[in-house]
Amino acid sequence: MRRTFYGWATPNSNRVTVMLEECGLAYEVRGVNIRRREQFAPEILALNPYGKVPILVEDAGDGSPPLVLFESGAILLHLAETTGALLPRETRARAEVMAWLMVALTSLGPYTGQAHHWTDLAPEKPEAARAYSLGLVDRVYRLLDDRLASVPYLGGTAYSVADVAAYPWVARHAWADRDLGATPNLAAWAARVGQRPAVMRGMAQPEGAVLA
Ligand SMILES: N[C@@H](CCC(=O)N[C@@H](CS)C(=O)NCC(=O)O)C(=O)O
């Protein structure tokens, strides 16, 4: 199986590189510099009509059409299902991991991205937009912090795809003008997850990429 990852030094991209590393899978890296708008190049749009990264292409090399996947959550679940890694099989444990995975996919990531826009990237930063977006980040940080007061990982007792989906966004907390001082359980979790060798390797991809 030949796997090709397309992405940049972004949290959604690093979800996938961390997962590939955690699963011990080999992959080629194609940098797509979103600041240079390379995500809109015809060859990238042919893979993902949304014009976004990450993208993962799996080519079995047996003449069958390659599997082209976009959306970081779909890629994480595909890798978990095909390798058996980081997603419990038992129904209850799996459902719990899914719930926290959805929090990372639908709240943590989008809210932090919006806060990055309204605190940093936007040419104008209306106070109402800034306060609203930061309020959403604070609310989800409190939720994660409360959760991590009673369990070591977001899905429960074991490290899972929910942690993989959440970590790259929490690691970019400065994007939302936040530190983790007010959320000690989240800070301890981030330190623990960030020390995993696979996480360190995945977060460093694509090599040399900078989101300037
Ligand atoms: N829901 C998508 C979001 C993907 C996304 O927004 N990717 C960003 C980088 S983190 C991107 O490609 N931005 C460039 C653009 O939107 O044009 C996912 O989880 O994969």
Which DSSP category does 156 fall into?
Answer: B
Average pLDDT (96-123) is 96
Please give the C-alpha separations between residue 174 and each of 43, 61, 120, 177, 186, in angstroms, as whole numbers. 33, 42, 10, 5, 14
Is any ligand 1 atom within 6 A of the Cβ of residue 17? no
Which DSSP category does 18 fall into?
Answer: H
Is any ligand 1 atom within 6 A of the Cβ of residue 51? yes
Whose Cα sits closest to atom 17 in ligand 1? 52
pLDDT band for 126, please (50, 70, 90 cuts): very high
Contact 206, 3 (CB under 8 A): no
Is any ligand 1 atom within 6 A of the Cβ of residue 34? yes
Laid out side by side, the sheet with 55-59 consists of 28-31, 2-7, 55-59, 67-70
pLDDT digits over 76-95, tens only?
A: 999 999 999 999 999 999 99
Which DSSP category does 23 fall into?
Answer: T
Is any ligand 1 atom within 6 A of the Cβ of residue 39? yes
In the reported structure, the alpha carbon of residue 71 is separated from the centroid of ligand 1 by a whole-number distance in angstroms of 8
Q: What is the CA radius of gyration of the chain?
A: 17
Is any ligand 1 atom within 6 A of the Cβ of residue 116? no
Q: What domains are there in the chain, each with its CATH number?
A: 2-85+199-203 (3.40.30.10), 91-196 (1.20.1050.10)
Q: What is the pTM of this model?
A: 0.97
In the reported structure, the alpha carbon of residue 12 is separated from the centroid of ligand 1 by a whole-number distance in angstroms of 7
pLDDT band for 177, please (50, 70, 90 cuts): confident
Closest CA to 185 of 140, 138, 142, 123: 142
Q: Is residue 212 over pLDDT 90?
A: no
Query: What pairs with residue 156 in β-bridges?
Result: 153
Is any ligand 1 atom within 6 A of the Cβ of residue 72? yes
